[in-house]
Amino acid sequence: MTDTKPKVVRRLGDVVFANLAFFAGVSILATLATVAAFLFAQSVPAFTGPPIDAASEGFFSYVLPFVFGTVYASVIGLAIATPLAIGIALYISHFANRKFAQVLGYAVDLLAAIPSVVYGLWGILVLAPFLSPTFNWLNENLGWIPIFAGQVSATGRTMLTVGIVLAIMVLPIMAALIREIFLQTPRLHEEAALALGATRWEMIKMAVLPFGRPGIISAAMLGLGRALGETMAVAMVLSPAAVVSFAVLTSTNSNTIAANIALQFPEAGGNYTNLLIATGLVLFAITMVVNMIARWVISRRAEFSGAN
Partner 1 sequence: MSKRIELKSLDVYYKAFLAVEDVSMVIEPKAITAFIGPSGCGKSTLIRTLNRMHEVIPGARVEGQLLMDGEDVYGPDVDPVRVRRQVGMVFQRPNPFPTMSIKDNVLSGYKLNNSRMSKAEAEEITEKALVGANLWNEVKDRLEKPGSGLSGGQQQRLCIARAIAVEPDVILMDEPTSALDPISTAAIEDLAVELKEHFTVVIVTHNMQQASRISDMTAFFNIAGSGLPGKLIEYDKTEKVFSNPTEQQTEDYVSGRFG
Question: Which residues contact partner 1 (rule: CB under 8 A)?
Answer: 186, 188-189, 191-199, 202, 206-207, 210-211, 213, 301, 303-308
Q: Indicate the residue among 109 and 202 with the shorter CB distance to partner 1.
A: 202
Would you give the DSSP letter of residue 298? H
CA 268-273-278 angle, 5° bins = 140
CA-based nearest residue to 138, from 166, 165, 159, 167: 159
**CB within 8 Å of 105: residues ≥ 6 apart:** 92, 176, 179
Distance, CA of 80 to CA of 131 (rounded, Å): 15
Contact 150, 250 (CB under 8 A): yes
Nearest approach, Cβ of 290 to partner 1 (angstroms)?
24
Nearest approach, Cβ of 184 to partner 1 (angstroms)?
12
Q: Indicate the residue among 200 and 295 with the shorter CB distance to partner 1.
A: 200
Q: Indicate the residue among 185 and 245 with the shorter CB distance to partner 1.
A: 185
Contact 249, 153 (CB under 8 A): yes
Nearest approach, Cβ of 301 to partner 1 (angstroms)?
8
Nearest approach, Cβ of 191 to partner 1 (angstroms)?
7
Distance, CA of 222 to CA of 112 (rounded, Å): 13
Q: Indicate the residue among 39 and 193 with the shorter CB distance to partner 1.
A: 193
Nearest approach, Cβ of 193 to partner 1 (angstroms)?
8
Q: Indicate the residue among 252 and 305 with the shorter CB distance to partner 1.
A: 305
